[in-house]
Every structure is written in C-alpha cells, then in structure tokens.
Structure 1
Amino acid sequence: MNTPHGTVRRARRSGPRRLCAVLGAVLACVACMGATHAQMQASEVQVKAAFIYNFALFTNWPADVMQADAPMVVCVTAQHPLQAALEKLIGKPVRGHRLEIRKLNDSTVAGCHVLVFDARTPNGVRVDPAAPVLTVSDSPKSQRAAGNPEPMIALALHDDRVVFDIDAVAARQAHLQLSSQLLRLARTVQ
C-alpha cells in the first residue's frame, strides 16, 4: 500500500512544477510576441528606409552618371515620413560611393540618383522618364496623385509586411539595371 501513496505524492509534487513551467513558457511567448508586434509597428519607417538603401545597392547606373568618389545622392521630398530614417543612413557605402541624403524643396531632381516620394501627395516633382533616376514611392502605384512621377519601385504594406512592386520597363527606359536578385524579391514585376 505504500507504493500507491508514494506515487500519488510524486505526481502531486511534479504537477505544480509542470504547471509553473508551462505557464512560464506561455508567458514568455506572449511577452515575446507583444514586443515583436510593437517593434514591427515602431520600425515601419526604418524597414522602408532599409529597403531603399538595398534598392540602391542592387541597381546599376550608367558609368557616366556615377563618377568616382562622388556621393550616391538619395533625394527625398519635403516633409516625407521617411526623411529622418533615411538621414540615419548618411555616409553608408553604396557600390563604392558614400550615401548622401538631400531634401527637395523644389521640383529639381538634378544630381539625384534615387528619388523617394509619396505618390499620394502632389509634390510638383518632374522626372524625365529617360533620366537615370531610380524613382521610389512609399505607396502603391494605384494611389498615385495626378502629376507625380511614375515610381519604378512602389513600396506597400501587406499583412504587416513591407513588400514592393517593380516597373522594370520604366527602369530600362531610364538606363538603370536592376539586379535579378531584386527582381526575384519583388511582389510583382511589370
């Protein structure tokens, strides 16, 4: 008879321990998921800025456009939500060039290698389709305001993930060569 009581005692002791271990694991998972969700929301602009940096890394400009020792100039329209996040990338290397961020206060894109704009807001910026300027919008092409340039790459948020669509025809027209790796990662390529 001692045997069944001994078994019961061990089961009673291991039950609370097991319950505490399971509850601890569940609480740790919930805390981790909450922190990840908050981080995703807080860093959408940083993620988009990182995408733009990588777009520059995976794009080839004509040799006469990218002079040796000249900076890679990313122009961003005034009061753009990504401006502060892009400025944190100043000085980073891009294909042997130092990254420079320039705020556009007018419609002049001369000297820009990448133009970042909000397609939903009319901004008065004009880009010659044959100019070797990579145009990037942080909103889908379908939301483009009249008069805005046609983006070659359009960033979008889909299921809490940043995705992008590429207009490869527009890139070729501007004499830009987008890496096949970049094309494979795009949600759609036209």
Structure 2
Amino acid sequence: MSSDIRIILKGFQQFLLLSVLAILPILTLAYDLIYTQHQGISEYSMTEYLQELLLLSTVLVYSYIAYKKTSHRHFAVLLAGFFCCLLIREFDALLDKIQHGFWVYPALLVALSSIIYALKDLSQTLRTFSQFVQHKHFITLNLGMVMLLVFSRIFGMGDLWEGILGEDYDRLVKRVVEEGLEVLGYTIIFYAAIGYLGAFLSKNELTTD
C-alpha cells in the first residue's frame, strides 16, 4: 500500500472517530431525557458524568506527558491544572454541600500551584507553549474551547430561546442545547489531547530531551 493511500485512510479513520465522539452527547441526552424520562438534566445525569469523564481524561493525558517528558513538564502541568480547574467547577453541586461556591477554593489552589510551577522555568514554559501553538492539534483545541466557553454560552442564552420559541418557551430546551454543546466542546478538547498524546508517543512531532 502506498504512503498516499495510508495517509488518506488515516484521514478517514480520524473522521470516523470524530463522528463517534460527536454522537456521544446525543446519546447521553437521549438517555437522560427519554430513557429515564427525567424532566431535565440533573447534576447526576449521564450527560454530566460524560463531561466529567472527558475532563478527567484530558487532565490525565497532560499529566502523563508532564510525568514522562521533562522538557515539556512545566507547560504540561499548566495545561493539566487549567483543565483540572474546569473539572472542579463541574463538581460544584457536590462541593456546594460543604458551602455554596466552595468549588472556588480548590480551583484557586490548583490554579495557583500550576502557575507557580510553570513560572519556575518560564523559558521552558514559553518555549513549549510556542511549540504547542504550532502543533496541528492546537486549532482543534481552540475549536473545542470556543465551543465550550463562547458558543455554548451565547447560543444557550435564555433571551435568545425566548425570542425563538415565544410563548412555547421552555427552559428545558435551553438547558438541553447548552449542555449538548458543552459536551461536544469537551469532546473536541479531549480529541485534541489524544492527538497531542499520539504525537508524544510516536516521538515524531515533539522534540526529545
């Protein structure tokens, strides 16, 4: 088999993998709203569990790279810390049992710890950050972050859906749209992390120590 055909087939494999991952949000929403017949998406739903699983997996990917590759450690710790903060935010309902808004404290601790560690070798952090920005999966990560932090928030605005549905407005519709987009964003972010990990394991695209 020629190298061109192998590259093309690899492209189709990536498309199929992304297609499967993109179906996950729909399956979890369908399970929560149809199979369980719940009138909403609770903090203990399959949709929420999938978000937490994707975030945890993303944190573990960058933590593994930090552990195995000293030349990328400081920046990888910074990335792992950032996504760990998002993961802690997803557990806000559980942490609210301690005190309302308690999630802020462990998130701040993780954020400050990872930032301080990254600053210990600022030149390495900046150098690795520069390499990361040039990596082909950085644009995928950007897409996931925009989907999560910008598009899902704007497209899930209550005023927008009240304008669309008028008198038929139901907050559940807004909630389903917002949660579905969030899961899709987390899925794309995880896919980018897996791509970066694949480059690390192949040792073809990341610089070695």
**TM-score past 0.5 threshold:** no
Q: Greater helix share, 1 or 2?
A: 2
Q: 1 or 2 for the larger relative contact order (CA 8 Å, sep ≥6)?
A: 2
Higher strand share: 1
